[in-house]
């Protein structure tokens, strides 16, 4: 069994126990490089300064991950966030309603103030929290006891799934 499969199994088992105890829906799927059509889709919800608060306010998801990125950033292009987003977002999501995965392009002029509110100092920068905590919220690096947490150690799909698993199982 590969490391990816082992991590995925642990993640899915934990989610099934925590979130789907009364559900009979199968959650055994894997994160792959492409969907069934062979086209690499981005399932992360694109946010900007005009829809940020509304989308996060209206989501039924318990948690949100917001990726602040720049479309010109090589590290952002190499980061395969959409592999994880496919599990939680979109019409074929394995775990809908648990975590909303979103993105904000800080290179777009409309998003400058929004990215500044969250003290985005590098790309990509990922945040975790309850969706209502992002609405009208902000984040500062020196802030203690924030309801919004920076995800520092999740630069691959495997690391992201491990990180999410730790957060949802505690």
Known catalytic residues?
Answer: 73, 76
CB 81 within 8 A of CB 163: no
Question: Residue 53, Cα to own-chain centre: how many angstroms?
Answer: 16
Instruction: Specify the residue for token string 């100092």.
Output: 121
Token pair 């969907």 in the structure block, residue: 35
**8 Å CB contact between 57 and 131:** yes
C-beta neighbour count of 165 within 10 angstroms: 19
- Cα separation, 97 vs 86, in Å, equals 12
């Amino acid at each position: 069994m590969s490391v990816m499969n082992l991590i995925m199994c642990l993640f899915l088992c934990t989610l099934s126990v925590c979130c789907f105890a009364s559900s009979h829906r199968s959650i055994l799927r894997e994160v792959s490089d492409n969907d069934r059509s062979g086209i690499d889709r981005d399932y992360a919800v694109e946010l900007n300064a005009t829809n940020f608060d509304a989308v996060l306010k209206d989501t039924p998801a318990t948690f949100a991950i917001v990726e602040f990125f720049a479309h010109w950033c090589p590290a952002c292009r190499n980061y395969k966030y959409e592999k994880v987003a496919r599990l939680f977002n979109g019409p074929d999501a394995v775990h809908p309603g648990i975590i909303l995965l979103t993105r904000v392009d800080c290179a777009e002029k409309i998003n400058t103030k929004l990215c500044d509110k969250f003290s985005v100092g590098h790309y990509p920068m990922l945040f975790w929290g309850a969706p209502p905590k992002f609405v009208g919220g902000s984040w500062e690096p020196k802030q203690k006891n924030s309801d919004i947490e920076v995800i520092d150690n999740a630069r691959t799909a495997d690391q992201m799934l491990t990180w999410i698993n730790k957060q949802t199982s505690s």
